[in-house]
Amino acid sequence: MAVDHYQRHTINAQALRGEDSEVKDYMYSHISPVITSMTTSLIRRFDNEVSQIGDVIKLTLGEPDMATPRRITEAGIRSLHAGRTHYAPNAGTPELRRAISDYLSRRRSLQYLPEQIIVTQGATEAISSVLTALLNPGDVLVWATPGFNQYRTMAILNGAQAIAIDTSEDDYRLTPQALESVLSTVQGRNIVVVLNYPANPTGIDLTAQELADLAAVIERYDATVVSDEVYAEIVYGQAHSSIAQLIPERTVLIDSASKTFAMTGWRLGFFAAPKHSVNALAKVHQAHVSTAATFVMDAAQEAYESGDSDIAVMVDEYRRRRDYLYQSVTALGYRVAHPQGAFYLYLSVPEDYEGSGGDYARAMAQEAHVAGIPGEAFQEGDSRQIRLSYAASMQQLHAAVERLEQWRHITPTSVNSLCPEQYDLTAVKEDSK
What angle, rounded to 10 degrees, do the helices at 122-134 and 150-157 form? Answer: 40
Report percent pLDDT > 70 for the chain: 89
Answer yes or no: CATH 3.30.479.30 is held by domain 42-62+310-407.
Answer: no
Mean per-residue pLDDT of the chain: 90
Q: pLDDT (tens digit, 9 = 90+) per residue, 237-279?
A: 889 999 999 999 999 999 999 999 999 999 999 999 999 999 9
- Whole-number Å distance between alpha carbons of 101 and 297: 14
CA distance 42 to 422: 9
pLDDT tens per residue, range 11-55: 333 433 344 445 567 888 888 888 888 777 788 888 888 989 989
Which residue has better confidence, 251 or 416? 251
Give the pLDDT confidence of 43-100 residue by residue, as tens digits. 888 888 898 998 999 999 899 999 999 999 999 999 999 999 999 999 999 999 999 9
- Give the mean model confidence (pLDDT) for residues 280-303: 97
Distance from C-alpha of 333 to C-alpha of 365, rounded to nearest angstrom: 18
Q: Predicted confidence band at 108 (pLDDT cuts at 50, 70, 90)?
A: very high
Give me the amino acid identity at 368: A
* Distance (Å) of CA 63 to CA 115, 202, 231, 386: 30, 15, 11, 17
Domain locations along the chain = 42-62+310-407, 86-306
- pLDDT tens readout for residues 189-239: 999 999 999 999 999 999 999 999 999 999 999 999 999 999 999 999 889
The pLDDT assigned to 29 comes to 83
Q: What contacts 196, CB < 8 A, 6 or more positions away? A: 143, 144, 147, 148, 151, 227, 228, 229
Residue 99 confidence (pLDDT):
98
At 138-194, the pLDDT tens digits run 999 999 999 999 999 999 999 999 999 999 999 999 999 999 999 999 999 999 999
**Chain segment 359-399, per-residue pLDDT in tens:** 999 999 999 999 999 999 999 888 999 999 999 999 999 99
User: With contact defined as beta carbons under 8 Å apart, do 271 and 129 qualify?
Assistant: yes
Amino acid 342: pLDDT? 98
Q: So what CATH class is 86-306?
A: alpha beta
